[in-house]
Amino acid sequence: MDIEKVNSMDFGEFVDVFGNVIERCPLIAAAVWSQRPFSNLEDLEKHFFAFIDALPQSGQEGILRCHPDLAGRELQRGTLTAESQREQRSAGLTSLGADERLRLAELNAQYRARFGFPFVLAARLSDPAAVRRELARRLHRPPAQELRTALGEVKKIGHLRLAELLGAHPATL
């Protein structure tokens, strides 16, 4: 899809197409639509990320809470968004053994208890061992640093999703 097509979309179509660029946050796409026309993918992306950056901390944490646990209950129940399902599958998280799932569930629970939101990672850039290592490493960070890191991961995910929607090769992250 080219940027002219994006700029010609009506509100409903834009939200339908871009509503899950930021996981389960179609309101962001609804707000970004008002910023048309976009000059290119980077410009479109800039508006998504500026919206996130302009939110108070409670809003940023809310965005993080919209993300599922990696290899968590939603994956087991089949209730992930299509995008999250693809991303977790590409990271090998859909084929974990019971022991691996249990270990990730324990780490996810510790992380959520410490920070108040789920561990967010651009899964398609990872594998199960790297997910576990990163989760264990980030679990001990100061909360303000972890909030910044988690929002950076949201932006990586958004970047990859936008690039996929527009048929662009994502730049190196």
Spatial separation of the C-alpha atoms in residues 114 and 99, rounded to whole Å: 23
Question: What is the structure's pLDDT at 172?
Answer: 58
So which residues are the catalytic ones?
A: 67
Spatial separation of the C-alpha atoms in residues 71 and 111, rounded to whole Å: 14
Question: What is the structure's pLDDT at 173?
Answer: 55
Is the domain defined by 69-165 classed in CATH 1.10.3330.10?
A: yes
Q: Residue ranges per domain, the chain?
A: 3-62, 69-165
Q: Mind listing the pLDDT tens digit of every residue in the chain (173 residues)?
A: 999 999 999 999 999 999 999 999 999 999 999 999 999 999 999 999 999 999 999 999 999 999 999 999 999 999 999 999 999 999 999 999 999 999 999 999 999 999 999 999 999 999 999 999 999 999 999 999 999 999 999 999 999 999 999 998 876 55
Residue 132, both tokens: 């576990």
Residue 117, both tokens: 């939101």
User: Residue 9 in contact with residue 50, Cβ under 8 Å?
Assistant: no
Question: What is the structure's pLDDT at 124?
Answer: 94
Question: What is the structure's pLDDT at 73?
Answer: 92
Name the DSSP class of 118: -
Give the Å distances, CA to CA, from 70 to 3, 14, 20, 30, 136: 32, 28, 17, 27, 13
